[in-house]
Each structure stands twice: as C-alpha cells, then as structure tokens.
Amino acid sequence: MMAGHWQVIEFTLLVCLGSSVAILAPGTLLAWWLAKTKSQWKTIVETVVFMPLVVPPVATGLILLDLFGRRGPLGSAIRAVFGVDVAFTWRAVLIATAVMSFPLLVRSARVGFDSVDPRLEQIANTLGASRSRVFFTVTVPLAVRGIFAGFLLSFARAVGEFGATILVAGNIPGKTTTLSLSIYNLVQLGKDEEAFALVAVSVLIAFGTVFASELLLRARANSK
Amino acid sequence: MKLKFEAIRLPLAHFALELEFEIEATSIGVFGESGSGKTSLLDLLAGVRKAPQGTILLNEFLLQSNAKFVPPNRRAIGYVPQDLALFPHLNVRKNILYGAKRASTPALNTIAIEQVITALNLGNLLERRIVDLSGGENQRVALARAIASRPNLILLDEPFTALDPKLRRTGVELVRQLRHEFSIPFLVVSHSQSELRSLCDVLVEIGAGKILRIYKSNSLC
C-alpha cells in the first residue's frame, strides 16, 4: 500500500472514532428513554431515529448538505458563531458518519437497557439512591455491554459510510476522502489491485468490530 | 411503628386492592393466598408503586396522599423482595454498602456496617460475586443491604419461600435478629401463617385485595 492509503486509513479511523464518541452520550440517553418511556411520542421518535437505516444514504447526505451548507440554517449559524465551514470539510465527514451510524448505536443500547430488570432499579431507589444515581450505578453498568456493542457497530457502520459522506463532504483527496471513497476512486482509475488492498483493510476493520460486538452481546445473554 | 392506610385503592389484574387499617406494632405479618395483593401492599409502602387514591402514614409521616407522594429514596424503608434483587454487577461488599449512604435516622444511626456484617456472618463473603453465592447467602446479603441502609422499617416479601427447611429456620432466626439486635420494625409477608406467628406481634390476613382480619399473634398461640 502507498503512503497516501495509510493517510486515508488513519483519517477514516480517527473521524469514525470521533463520530462514534460524539453520538455515544446522546445515543445512550435516547436508548434509555426509548426503553423506559410510555410517552405517546415514542413511536414517532423511534421512527425518526431509525430513518437513516432505510432512507437512501444520498438522500440523507442531500438533507445534511442543505442543513450544513454555507447557506443552510445550521451551516450559516456555525459559521457565524465559530467562523468555520462544515460542508466539504472533515467536520462534514464526522456529521455524515454520525447521523448514519446513530440508529445502530441506539438500537443496540436499547436492547441493553431492555434487559435490565426494573426491580433492581426500584430496590436501588428504596435504598436511598436518587434516580440519577440509580441510572449511573445500576442501569448503565447492567446495560453496558449493549451500549458498547452499539458503539462498536456504529463505528463499523461509520467506516463503511459512502453515500451521505460524498454528498455533504465531497471527495477531496487528503481532506475528506475516506476509505470507502478511496476504494471508489481507485476503481474509477482502474487500480483494482490497490482498491482490493483497501477493501481488505475495511473488511478486517468491519469483521473485528462486528465480531467484538457479537461477543459482547453473547456474554450479556449468557450472564442473564 | 404506627402504620395507617386510609382509603387506599389500587386496581390490580382481577380485583382492586382496598386498604383501610391502622396498626401499632414492632413486627407485622401479612399472610394470604397467592395473588391476594400482599406484594402490592409492600410495593405501596416502599413507594415503588403509587395508588391513584388514598393516604399512607408511617409513624405520622405522610408517605402518600392524593396531593403528595414521597419517592422511595426519601422514605427510609428497606425492602427485601421475594427475588432479593441483589445487584449482579457488584460484589457482596458493594451490595451491602449501596444503601449505606442514606442519611441516617436518629434512632438508628448507631448501626455500624461492621456490626451488620458480623451479625449476619458475611465477613468471609465480602469479595464474592453475587452469582457465586448460595440461596441462603443471597438472603443474608439482601437482609444486610436493607439493614445497612438504616431504615425506619424493613419490608420482607416471602423471605423463606426459596429456602430448604434448615435454611428456613436460619432465615426465621435472622429476621428475629432484626428485632433484637438492630431494633428495626419489620413487616413480613408470607403464605405461611405459622411462621409469621412465631415472628410477629400482629398478623394481618388479606384476601382478594381486602383485609379480612387483624389480630395479635399470641391470641392464637
């Protein structure tokens, strides 16, 4: 592999790790809310959250471009406050991968929260623990395997992200080109051998993360 | 302790739990057939369930009324449910200490954790994981955890059901200890009237959500 390819791999891993970390707290809280709430809004929220799984990624990318472009409501606001552009920068890659992988984190974390026996939370409450203490000392530790499995799955999904990223971040070598985009570029240029080398790397990353998440979920099922 | 239920009504699956009584005793035993509302009564007292109407008072302290509901973490009521609900991710020591942070009540703030551990013979189990404990050990840990939270009242739901006859006797002794060593009033639910008779001052019989009778236990002895 050429030096440029290592740069692409490094960039992809860093941005995808950043996006998975960025969605971890909000995704976990949302998963907890979905697992516990009896609100009439639950189904609507669930549907909206899982939309990126079924909407064409390019459509999601176009919506993000509209929101985060220089003239978009969020893009112009961020430019006004922080003086930076979002679209066609690494920030756009981070946002696109975060949005596309968010449902996987929420789904897996929710399975984790669903598996927590509510009786344990109630008893913790009777022992004098506030709701927040119960959440951090009983609920989250018992759901942590589901949360971490979701984190790994979201990371794997982020690494493989293509459609939304190319729309909102473009495909700028050395700036926004990710592993998936780089494979696409190499195929376009007829460099199939180099493309397959990157395919092998992406398959390896995907296998490692999905395998680890499966191990975690299996360990959770066995510990029940 | 003085326990008062006033016009409590809680709809259950097949009937409504309707409670209207006042008892003053240090140990109360509640018995009745399965599904008669015994656990729901404990849930209401602990605050893990809320009746849509009615008032509950413990030692003149209002736990719930139509206008007010004191959450479980502010009630200072220890609860040992039938399944014990020990925290599987914490070891024995951490389970026992979980509730020890509760602001101590004046009468009981002298209870030291070491005293609880010694009394329940848990010294050699402190670092063990919950999954590695036997049924009897689990029960002792659950009881220790409830005592260590320094409650004004301990609720015990069928504490002897899952135990074999030998452990059952040990369990009864443990509950007696609550009374003599720690001076904590308790309310214990069981389907065995005879067990309750040897433990409690006052017995309450419940059937299909209604109190059938309340009497002093020695009146039958």
Residue A208 clears pLDDT 90, i.e. is over it: yes
Residue A36 clears pLDDT 80, i.e. is over it: yes
| Rounded Cα–Cα distance for residues B129 and B8 (Å) | 40
What strands, in cross-sheet order, belong to the sheet with B77-80? B61-64, B53-58, B2-11, B16-24, B210-216, B202-207, B27-31, B186-190, B153-157, B77-80
Contact of B29 with chain A, judged by CB distance below 8 Å, is answered with no
**To which H or E segment does residue B210 belong?**
strand B210-216
Does B98 sit within 8 Å of A124, measured CB to CB?
yes
- How deeply is A157 buried, as exposed, middle or buried, from its count of CB atoms within 10 A (0-12, 13-18, 19+)? buried
- The reported pLDDT for the residue numbered B162 is 65
Does A127 sit within 8 Å of B78, measured CB to CB?
yes
Q: For A107-152, how does the pLDDT look when each residue is reduced to its tens digit (9 = 90+)?
A: 999 999 999 999 999 999 999 999 999 999 999 999 999 999 999 9
The token duo for A97 is 């991968």
Classify the C-alpha dihedral A172-A175-A181-A183 as positive or negative: positive
SS3 B38: helix
DSSP secondary structure letter of residue B104: P
Q: Are B36 and B51 contacting, i.e. CB atoms less than 8 angstroms apart?
A: no
The token duo for B80 is 């040992």
Residue ranges of B 133-162 with Cβ closer than 8 A to chain A: 145-146, 149
Query: A224 pLDDT band (50/70/90 cuts)?
Result: low
Q: Are strands B61-64 and B153-157 parallel, antiparallel or unpaired?
A: unpaired
SS3 B62: strand
- The reported pLDDT for the residue numbered A220 is 59
The token duo for A8 is 């692409």
Separation in Å, CA B162 to CA A43, A93, A120, B85: 40, 57, 19, 14
Distance from CA of B26 to the nearest CA of A (A): 20
Q: Please, what is the average pLDDT of chain A?
A: 93
The token duo for A190 is 């007829």
Contact of A119 with chain B, judged by CB distance below 8 Å, is answered with yes
- The reported pLDDT for the residue numbered A77 is 96
Q: Are A38 and A176 contacting, i.e. CB atoms less than 8 angstroms apart?
A: no
Which residues lie closer than 8 Å to B140 by C-beta, 6 or more apart?
Answer: B120, B121, B122, B174
Does A126 sit within 8 Å of B85, measured CB to CB?
no
The token duo for B54 is 């009615």
CA of residue A74 relative to chain centroid, distance: 20
Considering only CB atoms, B149 lies closest to which of A127, A138, A141, namely A127
Mean pLDDT by 10 residues, chain B (221 residues): 92 90 92 90 95 93 93 94 94 92 53 82 91 89 90 90 71 76 88 83 91 79 33
Contact of B88 with chain A, judged by CB distance below 8 Å, is answered with yes
| Rounded Cα–Cα distance for residues A18 and A11 (Å) | 10
Select from B50, B75, B79 the residue whose CB has the most chain A CBs within 10 Å, as the one to mutate to test that interface.
B79
- The reported pLDDT for the residue numbered B111 is 63
Contact of A118 with chain B, judged by CB distance below 8 Å, is answered with no
| Rounded Cα–Cα distance for residues B52 and A172 (Å) | 62
Considering only CB atoms, A126 lies closest to which of B72, B88, B103, namely B72
Separation in Å, CA B139 to CA B94, B146, B171, B174: 15, 11, 8, 10
Mean predicted confidence (pLDDT) in A42-64: 94
Contact of A174 with chain B, judged by CB distance below 8 Å, is answered with no
**To which H or E segment does residue B16 belong?**
strand B16-24
- The reported pLDDT for the residue numbered B220 is 44
| Rounded Cα–Cα distance for residues A112 and A146 (Å) | 4
Does B87 sit within 8 Å of A120, measured CB to CB?
yes
Select from B45, B58, B74, B98 the residue whose CB has the most chain A CBs within 10 Å, as the one to mutate to test that interface.
B98
- The reported pLDDT for the residue numbered B221 is 33
Does B145 sit within 8 Å of A129, measured CB to CB?
no
List the alpha helices (DSSP H) in chain A.
3-36, 42-54, 57-68, 73-82, 90-114, 118-126, 131-134, 140-160, 163-169, 179-188, 192-223
Does A119 sit within 8 Å of B98, measured CB to CB?
no
Q: What ipTM was reported for this prediction?
A: 0.89
**How many Cβ atoms from other residues are within 10 Å of residue A138's Cβ?**
24
